[in-house]
A = this chain, B = another copy of it.
Amino acid sequence: MKTTAVIMAGGRGERFWPKSRNSRPKQFLSLTKDGETMIQKTVKRLLPLVEAEDIFIVTNSAYIGLVNEQLPDIPKENILAEPCARNTAPCIAFAAAVIGRKYDDAVMLVLPSDHLIGYEELYTSTLKKAVKLSLEGKNLVTIGITPDYPETGYGYINFGSETAADMPDAYKVERFVEKPDLPTAKEYLASGKYLWNSGMFVWKVSSIMENLRTFMPEIYDGALRIGEAFGTESFNEVLVREFTAFKGESIDFGIMEKADDIYTIPGSFGWDDVGNWLAVERINEVDDSNNYIEGDVISIGSERTTICGGKRLIAAVGVEDIIIVDTDDALLICSKNSTQDVKKVIAQLNDQGRTGLV
């Protein structure tokens, strides 16, 4: 059975403004000095497992040009354009239906497009185990991330002591839980029985379709009709009609929290969700003063500061713990304690109708 991959690339990444814009979200940016974009890295690290012709990109129709430009080796027919944003369940159903139409059945790796992996060989071997579990008939498999602090911004996966018969590090999932408060997150961490939900899933097309039929029948029916139309003249018309009618829902809430026979494999491969500007100093090398500096910069006594320069000279004098991002038309200067508030800038710009800057 073929192993395919579905890369979900419809997100906005508002927290990387002003580099990320509506017209170029985070997955299409490079946040590392090598110049590779997040989605290019995502595809590259999959190639030991999946052939390029079996990698599918689901993205907003506005980003088709960016995907073609950044991923020239991915066949054009594998780039699936969502007519609108409907969260992960419709996205995955759409991809499953198309892959089902092409290959009847196949293993599907479902992966975000905007995360980074530090240890790619560990990542590959973990995904291989997940593929094996799927092929053995496990309903749904998810990669959990071994937590190293009580993060309150992620959902968690609770696992028990039961493992897969021939795989001692593949645990049967007890339940998926939503983002906890801090005391709860601390309990999760202390228990040793919780993993972060990374949004990486592995299953057969036939399995996920069966789960959609059971838990999300409207999406199942619509996806079937989209799959039937794939490759025909009426495809776009059917896609727009069916997809826009879907209720937006996450796969976690729609299926993972309800289904049985789910297994999780703990991953310790240096996963980073690159959630906001604080990530840049984590995923790049810093200088002796713990600054990350990119571009034409003079630093005089600055410490623990991230500077992503643009075309102009930036002089940073005696500043500490701030993030500076320069672009042609907008400049961000942000305290490291306030990276979540970058969204508020976008909200103000939208309120002011300054959509060209968003």
Please give the residue numbers on chain A whose beta carbons come within 8 Å of chain B beta carbons, in ascending order: 17-18, 298, 300-301, 312-320, 322, 324, 326-335, 337-339, 341-342, 344-345, 348-349, 354, 357
Q: Are B334 and A331 in contact (CB under 8 A)?
A: no
Q: Which of B315, B333, B335, B348 contacts A314 (CB 8 A)?
A: B333
A-B contact pairs, 23 of them (CB 8 A): A18-B313, A18-B315, A298-B348, A300-B348, A301-B338, A301-B341, A312-B327, A312-B329, A313-B330, A313-B331, A313-B357, A315-B331, A315-B332, A315-B342, A315-B345, A316-B334, A317-B332, A317-B334, A317-B335, A318-B335, A318-B341, A319-B333, A326-B331
| Minimal beta-carbon separation of A351 from chain B (angstroms) | 10
Across the A-B interface, give the 5 residue pairs with the lowest CB-CB distance, nearest first: A318-B338, A318-B335, A317-B334, A313-B330, A315-B345
Chain B residues contacting A298 (CB-CB under 8 Å) are 345, 348-349
Set of chain B residues within 8 Å of A322, measured between Cβ atoms? 319, 322, 333
| CA of A54 to CA of B345, assembled, Å | 53
SS of A interface (majority): mixed
Complexed CA–CA distance, A163 and B204 (Å) = 100
Nearest residue in B to A334 (C-beta to C-beta)? B317
| A335-B317 Cα distance, complex, nearest whole Å | 6
Q: Do A319 and B334 form a contact, CB below 8 Å, given A300-B344, A349-B298?
A: yes
Are A314 and B331 CB-contacts (below 8 A) given A298-B348, A300-B345, A322-B322?
yes
- Across the interface, do A333 and B316 meet the contact criterion of CB distance under 8 Å? yes
Q: Which of A18, A333, A337, A348 has the most CB of B within 10 A?
A: A333
Contact B312 A333 (CB under 8 A): no
A318 near B337 (CB under 8 angstroms)? Answer: yes
How many Å lie between the Cα of A8 and that of B135 in the bound state? 86
CB distance from A298 to the nearest CB of B (A): 5
Question: Taking CB as reference atom, which chain B residue is nearest A17?
Answer: B315
CA A334 – CA B319 in complex, angstroms? 6
State A322–B323 Cα separation when bound (angstroms). 13
In chain B, what residue has the closest Cβ to A322?
A: B319
Complex interface: chain B residues within 8 A of A338 (CB)? 300-301, 317-319
Tell me, in angstroms, the Cα distance from A331 to B320 when the chains sit together: 17
Q: How far is the CA of A125 from the CA of B312 in the complex (A)?
A: 47
B345-A333 in contact (CB<8A): no
Write the chain B residue with the least CB distance to A321: B319
Expressed in whole angstroms, the Cα–Cα distance for A130 and B91 within the complex equals: 82
**Are B331 and A317 in contact, CB atoms less than 8 angstroms apart?**
no
B317 touching A342 by the CB < 8 A rule? yes
